[in-house]
Structure 1
């Protein structure tokens, strides 16, 4: 009798197979729930934080794949909040010097940036002591725009990394709605 293969069982086998100094193969996905549809009622392990009065949540109406997306929204131009969606990866680390790439699709509705703050995606390997352990991209996208692929690549993964934090951010002094979907962090 064949058993159904789930993402959990594949991740478990990968964690068992990769121990200590094992090298993660090219194409290894480091994030869980990248299309936000793995769990029926949750986007776990994605968490959110916000500064100020901003709407941050999960949309079941607007998504690229799966059945939902993450969003951050500010409709009041008189307030200057910011918001972030975050996921932490602490499994086996990519080998030192390897490349790691974060990709995500973003969609905007009536987006306006009043300063140099930009919507973006980023990741950082910790405890890397300098900026060489991070990569990110910010975009000056305005108005309405359809799903747009963004990439941030770190070409020299640090040897001292214990964990990686991925951030999807919406800076202060921005209005409109930004959706995030198909968020992936892969060893290249």
Structure 2
């Protein structure tokens, strides 16, 4: 009888100790459809913002990998509003304290910064936002025409209470021209 009770207690202990929260291992890619070619007629789950006068679209002629890229085009000085493409991740989260690396390839055509400081940028942030450590971004200080450039942003010390991760590809207000984005990856490091 004591032997059976001990075995039952041992099994229950093992069962409860194995039910720890699942975290993502290093090297896990979190973005769906990173090269925008997963679906024949959609770049889902990438979502555009909808400012007036700004063209957000998909190019099948200009791309880095796969067969298309996202673009933001701001052709008119009078309507030079900010615009972005974004994607949210709500699956299992990385281990608290780990690092996330956001990488994207960016190409520009006739890019003009009318503010002397507004730059094309990529951003990763977690929600709920507890403080600034849950946001990381990097900007690209290039004007005119430029070929594909790899841009990276690193979010270190991933917060324990994160429930959602958002990635955005951004063209700020008062920036003219056309900017392409492709091969967008968010990796647990």
Query: Which category of TM-score, normalised to the shorter sequence, fits these structures?
Result: 0.7 to 0.9
Equivalent residue, structure 2, for 1:52: 52
Once the two structures are superposed, residues 75-111 of structure 1 have per-residue CA deviations (whole angstroms, 9 ceiling, x without a partner) of 1123222211000000000010000100000000000
Structure-1 separation of matches of 2:43 and 2:20: 29
1:131 equivalent in structure 2? 132
Is the helix fraction higher in 1 or 2? 2
The residue number in structure 2 matching 1:67 is 67
How far apart are residue 128 of structure 1 and its match?
2.8
Which residue does the alignment assign to 1:90? Answer: 90
Alpha-carbon distance in 2 for matches of 1:150, 1:164: 19
CA distance in 1, matches of 2:129, 2:25: 22
Contact 1:128 1:158 (8 Å CA) reproduced: no
Instruction: Supply the RMSD in Å over aligned alpha carbons.
Output: 1.2
Q: TM-score, normalised by structure 2?
A: 0.87
Helix, strand or coil: the match of 1:183?
strand
- Report the alpha carbon displacement of residue 20 of structure 1 after superposing the two structures with TM: 5.8
Conserved 8 A contact 1:20-1:92 = no
Match runs of 1:13-162 below 5 Å: 21-115=21-115, 116-162=117-163
SS at match of 2:97: coil
Contact 1:31 1:89 in 2 (8 A): yes
Alpha carbons 1:50, 1:81 under 8 Å: kept? no
Q: Which has the larger radius of gyration?
A: 2
In structure 2, the gaps of 5 or more residues are 1-18
Q: State the secondary structure of the residue aligned to 1:181.
A: strand
Unaligned runs of 5+ in 1: 1-18
TM-score by length of 1: 0.87
Contact 2:133 2:157 in 1 (8 A): yes
